[in-house]
Structure 1
Amino acid sequence: MTDKRKRGGTKGGKWAVCPFPGSAMASAVAIITCWAFAGSAVAQTAEIARRTAQQEKLEKAARAIGSDMTQLQQRLVTTAKQIRNQEQVATDHETQLETLRVEQHALTAGFDRRQGELSEMLGVLTRVSQRPPALLMVEPDGVRQQLRGTMLLGAMIRMLEQDAAELRAELAALDRLRTTIVSKQDALQKLLPELHAEKQRLTALLAEKDKQRAHLSASAKAEAQEIAQLAAQARDTRDLLSKLRERHSQFAALPMPQPKPQPQPLRLADGLPGAAAPVPEVKPTLAALHPPRISSRRFSESRGQILQPVIGRIAEFFGGKDGAGGTLHGIRIISRSNAEVVAPFDGKLAFAGRFGDYGELLILEVGDGYHILLSGMSHIYGETGQNVIAGEPIGRMGTEAGTADVKEAASQQKRNALYVEFRKDGEPFNPAPWIASRKIEVSG
């Protein structure tokens, strides 16, 4: 009997070790769950720390690129200044050459006229000299008249010869000067492409830096949002690690910011001049993500100091006829072929793109309700929302060369003339008194 109980006790001895088998299983499950949760939390914390460090790295890289871009921007201004100076010299030489050609034409016409007079006088002298001597003896006072006529003709011949010699000397001097100017112009034409190529390289590099900076800024912003999402999702440990793994493979290939939207056409009453031009709304760009450059001067205090946006001569003035029966609300500047257009003042490109018959249009916001409108370019460098500094290239004129001849210039104004308009609170005003002398350039 005792043995049976012992054997029975032996059969049920495993239950005697833990009289509550259910609680043991629950404890084991709880421990395993805690371990898993703890492991997930540790992994989550490490991932957040890694993401935070990567975000800081991106932001640091963005700041470095921003600094590089500022230096490149200054170099670009310096290069553009050199190009503009060369364009100014070339324009001056072309104007001088055209003036010399006009003078040469007038002198040549005068020389030809005097040469004709000399030929007539020589003909008269020849006829007189061929008169038979016998006739001089028959005619009354024939000898005296012949001598007087011969003396007068001789004096006229000497005078005409002296005039002809002076004309020949002047023509020779003009020809030498013309040759010198053409030589200088050829040298400038060889130099301009080199400077233009340098500016193009800087422009390309600046554009690449813009892309890098925009990409890094977008990546840093996306990373910050991701970290915020991770923190918000930290309570949901079951999905956290799987989501982190999924996104980790995509992090290096974060999408670039969407291309800038096409701006809506400006709605202006009776065309661009006149009514206020509402600036089209665009999504935040690089300029919106970073503080704009603050100008050291106010536009309202810069009368007579605004940079002329393109090298050339003003062909049409504010208040004149616009060629369509209306009044011109700005000025037109005839420029050289492919002349560089620069920002006249520090500001923000409120609009950059094509606009109706104006073609490529730039609207530069310069503060205090002032705007500068530029049109007539064949190509623009800037984009809406970009901050620019005075002297920075923002566009390029067409390939039709300007001319110093007024009649020819009139036919070219629509093809190769920059239209410049200044506005205050939407109302146009005369830009001419605000523009500095062409000889003045901003320092790089």
Structure 2
Amino acid sequence: MADLFQDDPPPPARDDAPRDDAPLADRLRPRTLGEVIGQEHITGAEGAIGRMVAAGRLSSMILWGPPGTGKTSIARLLADSVGMRFISVSAVFSGVADLKKAFAEADRMAEAGQRTLLFVDEIHRFNRAQQDGFLPFVERGTVTLVGATTENPSFELNAALLSRAQVLILERLDHQALSALLDKAETLEGPLPLDEDARAALIASADGDGRFLLNQAETLYNAKIEAPLDPAGLGKFLQRRVAVYDKDREGHYNLISALHKSLRGSDPQASLYYLARMLTAGEEPLYVLRRLVRFASEDIGLADPQALSQCLAAKDAYEFLGSPEGELAIVQACLYCATAPKSNAAYAAQKAAFRSARETGSLMPPQNILNAPTKLMKDIGYGAGYSYDHNAEEGFSGDNYWPAEMEPQTYYTPVERGFERKVKERIAYWDKLRRERS
């Protein structure tokens, strides 16, 4: 790290052009913020970084995101965009002495009118006392701190430091962003030796990590492969299992179908297997969670009302923890759904009720249950004769709530499983009272 802390001021301009023999990922490093792929929500004109750059002033920030999403590139480009001096240190290799040198040099440069952006990679690896050492220099503007971390800042960074920095979340690169990275690689190096299915499988295997994807691509280029590989050949060549996601996404839909049907069939072992297949293939965890939430309503419903709560809690836990810690919450929700009593009564009731609503149009409800906020409406009979159920015996009036032109319908038929057994008993009891009181 000695070259980062020279006593003499650095040259005013910095040549970032990579060598011709540099790794592919370095040669494709973005040269402007506009070239950063997949993080437009913060680098775009309406994003936090875009607005700061437009204003010409940066505040200290923590870049939180998975590996290979552009944290280091963004930090370098931020300094260039506002004409700041850039210093980079790594919490893995640097200690307090290195930081003191960096701060002292930043003080000298500030006196000469040159502002300093200090990029700290893996900032969460500094202990609490070391993190406290940043505070006075950040507060008086000696440096603008840009920290990078893959860990949840609320757990790993001091509250005092967090209060002086804005936390910006970098997203895992999606399929479209990773595909754009491969497009850039192919523009520079030529077509990859892959068919369309293998290219999609390579992207899926990257798990949102752009640098990993480009390293894999560079391995393929260096091998000088003549005939294009299919997914099986690619998996064998890279010595790692690669998910088969063909161009029409059949593999994707096959796996989600297998997961859904295994859950419906109350097989927790098979359900967990297909869940693992999807997540290890690079599927978006939030997509899997959306399917589990839907399953909880469609195939469990009121047979176990807690299933929906479990799935929504898993969604919250995953969004809070991220990968890989949050994936355990997804597993828990999957196992809960697989072992819960099943009922599609709510799903069937929805379809029947919606069909009936479309067929019956605009039938007026009976007048006794209409609201009457004005005198005229009361005078013409709105709300007249309404029976307040709480005043009735057993809290049940037995009134008719259906339009006069329509016979009462039965859409929801609970099953004899789980909590719906109790619901079925209640409905049967109310039907009995209704017949007696009519």
Asked which structure has the greater RCO (Cα within 8 Å, sep 6+), the reply is: 1
In which range does the TM-score fall when normalised by the shorter chain?
under 0.3
In our comparison, the structure showing a higher alpha carbon Rg is 1
What's the TM-score, normalizing by structure 2? 0.22
What's the TM-score, normalizing by structure 1? 0.22
Q: Larger % of strand: which?
A: 1
